[in-house]
Structure 1
Amino acid sequence: MSKFDEIRSFYDHEVNEALQNIARHPMMKALMQFTFPDSDEDFWLDKFKSIHSISDFQHQCISQTIRQILKQSSEGLTTSGFENLDKNTAYLFVSNHRDIVLDTSLLNLVLLDKGLIMTASAIGDNLVQKNFLHVLAKLNRNFLVQRGLSIREQLNSSKIMSEYINDLLHKENRSVWIAQREGRTKDGNDATQQGVLKMLAMASENHSLIDFFNSLKIVPLSISYEYDPTDALKMPQVMAKSKNEVYIKDENEDFKTILSGVLGQKKRIHLHAGKVLEHELDEVALTTDNKNKQLQAIAQIIDDSIIENYKLWPTNYIAFDLLNESNQYSEFYTEEEKQLFERRLEMRIDSSETVLKESFLAMYANPVVNKYKKRDEEK
């Protein structure tokens, strides 16, 4: 038994049997009806028989699912920066995190279409408690981040995950996606948690920290949705935090959020692959040899890239102006776009609650604040 068995995705030789076991599950049926709306059940059941690897499943089924999602709930996906990546190189994509399923699914569709190495992707085990979702996640090359552990268990789990990521990148030449923080950003402030970098560094062994991070080939990834389909669902947690209250999720909240993210309107979406971190890391090594300070500096480099390359949409500028009762950024949107956003605001939340309205607007406005603040600091 491998030490990675509790967290790893399926090996290719396990794929067909796992797929056959869930082939007639009602949720698989719903997923395939959505993916292949003009085909009957026999079509995908026959297709499943010839699928013997994760790559087969992603190419033949899941990529089509994501194309249908884009077709039905967005106005298109655009990209930039991927032309700078090498088709034979495995990268560690450290990404801002807005949507449970789509962030990594959209990245993998882009990588597939551009002939780049697709990712193994981290997902919290709390999100795949149902057996069907667990199997589907492993069929999509997800590996599990174990939640709710004691401090001692957490340390061991982090070490195993660090080694697994290192093996994927260096032994399997497999790219990896990981969020810059635990859980999705709820307030629009994309910031890298140092704990994520500490986890990655556990596998560094005898290497210097900077040499190890250089070997990971880190690509900061900026994902920008014009409309966040789960914006209203994030509000209760944001409100609880503002009141210093402990937020307790409903039993089916994660599943509801997954469905809303997949099916909810997103309008335009943009993914930007930042430059591979190389000389920036060498500069950190020259600045300090203190490991904590080095980790802080690396986190800041990732943040700067994600914020600078985040595509600001009219919705972001509108939210900023509404929040600040200004017309500071009115050149970036039309009156019609503003009215549509205000209508969305009224439909999604009770805008008579001032704190709720301000929190909703801040979620969209903070990327504007952060980008222009960074630019001001650089002047």
Structure 2
Amino acid sequence: MSKFDEIRYFHDHEVNERLQSIARDPMMKALMNFTFPGVEEQVWLEQFKEVYSISDFQHQFVAYAVRQILAKSSEGLTTSGFDKLDKNTSYLYISNHRDIVLDTSLLNLVLLESGLIMTASAIGDNLVKRNFLNVLAKLNRNFLVQRGLSIRDQLTSSQTMSEYIDMLLHEENRSVWIAQREGRAKDGNDATQQGVLKMLAMAAGDQSLIEYFKTLKIVPISISYEYDPTDSLKMPQLLAQHRDEAYIKGKNEDFNTILSGILGQKKRIHLHAGDVIDTELDEIAATIDNKNKQLQAIAQLIDTSIIQNYKLWPTKYIAYDLKNNTDTYASQYTEQEKQLFIRRLEMRIDPADPVSKEYFLAMYANPLVNKLKAEEK
């Protein structure tokens, strides 16, 4: 047994058998009917028999599914910054996190269509407890982040994941995607958790922290949805925090969130690839000795890139003006866009509840607020 067996995605020699094991699952049928409407079940069942690698599965099925999601639930995906990346180089993509499945799926579609190395992607094992989802995730090159562990087990798990990411990047020349924080940002505030960077640093070995982070070739990714399809689903947790109450997830909450993220209306979407973090690390090494402070500075570099390169859609300006009862950014949106957003707000929360309204508007406005703060520094 490999020490990575509990978290790794499938090896290519395992793919055909694993795919066959879920081929007749009702959820697979629903997925294929969505991806290839009007195509008989027997057609794709036969095609599955010829799939012998993750690359086969991604090219022949997953890419089509993601394009269908874009066609049916968005007004298109735009990108910037990816043309600066090298097609033969593996990168560590660290992104803000809005949607459980789509963030990494959209990135990989962009990488595929740009001829860049696609990613192995981290996903919480709590999200793939159903056998179908677990197998599907590993067929799509997802590796598992183990949740709900004791403090002692967390340390061991973090060490294993750090070494696994290191192996993928440096031995297999495989790009990796991880979110900048555990869980999605539900309030629109994108901030890198230092614990994520500490986990990455565990595989540094004899190298200094800065030397090791240079080898990772970190590329910050800014993901911006005009409409968050899961905005109303994020509200109960935000309101529980407001009331200083413990929030307990419902039985099928994660699964429902995944479906809402995939099928819900997003309007326009933009992905930006920031510059590789490199020479900035030399400056940190020259001015900061303390390892924790170095990690703080690296987190700040990632945050600055993500926030400054975040595409501000009209919804962000509308929410800011509504929240602050102003028309400061009226030139950034039309009256029709404003009325559509107000209608969405009224349909998705109780507009008579001032706390709900405040949190809903803040969720959309905070990327603008954070960008303004970053520009003031």
For Structure 1 versus Structure 2, the TM-score category normalised by the shorter chain is over 0.9
Letter in 2 for 1:342: I
Query: How far apart, CA to CA, are the structure 2 residues paired with 1:30 and 1:167?
Result: 35
Residue equivalent to 2:165 = 165
Q: RMSD of aligned C-alpha atoms?
A: 0.4
Residue equivalent to 1:98 = 98
Residue equivalent to 2:245 = 245
Matched, 1:359 2:370: no
Residue equivalent to 1:299 = 299
**SS of aligned partner of 1:222:** strand
1:42 shift after superposition:
1.1
Query: How far apart, CA to CA, are the structure 1 residues paired with 2:350 and 2:242?
Result: 17
**SS of aligned partner of 1:57:** helix
Query: How far apart, CA to CA, are the structure 2 residues paired with 1:46 and 1:276?
Result: 42
1:238 shift after superposition:
0.6
What stretches of structure 1 of length at least 5 have no aligned partner? none
Letter in 1 for 2:191: A
Residue equivalent to 1:61 = 61
1:38 shift after superposition:
2.5
Query: How far apart, CA to CA, are the structure 1 residues paired with 2:132 and 2:103?
Result: 20
Query: How far apart, CA to CA, are the structure 2 residues paired with 1:61 and 1:17?
Result: 16
Residue equivalent to 2:185 = 185
Q: Normalising to structure 2: TM-score of the pair?
A: 1.00
What are the equivalent positions in structure 2 for 1:218-297 lying under 5 Å apart?
218-297=218-297
Deviation sequence 1:259-305 (CA, Å, 0-9, x none): 00000000000000000000111110011111000000000000000
Residue equivalent to 2:209 = 209
**SS of aligned partner of 2:328:** coil
Residue equivalent to 2:47 = 47
What stretches of structure 2 of length at least 5 have no aligned partner? none
Query: How far apart, CA to CA, are the structure 1 residues paired with 2:63 and 2:256?
Result: 22
Deviation sequence 1:64-90 (CA, Å, 0-9, x none): 000000000000000000000000000
Q: Normalising to structure 1: TM-score of the pair?
A: 0.99
1:241 shift after superposition:
1.0
Residue equivalent to 1:130 = 130
Letter in 1 for 2:14: E
1:376 shift after superposition:
1.4
Query: How far apart, CA to CA, are the structure 2 residues paired with 1:351 and 1:287?
Result: 50
**SS of aligned partner of 1:204:** coil
Deviation sequence 1:95-144 (CA, Å, 0-9, x none): 00000000000000000000000000000000000000000000000000
Pairs aligned (count): 377
Residue equivalent to 1:17 = 17
1:62 shift after superposition:
0.4
Query: How far apart, CA to CA, are the structure 1 residues paired with 2:352 and 2:322?
Result: 14
Query: How far apart, CA to CA, are the structure 2 residues paired with 1:95 and 1:368?
Result: 17
What are the equivalent positions in structure 2 for 1:74-153 lying under 5 Å apart?
74-153=74-153
Letter in 2 for 1:52: Y
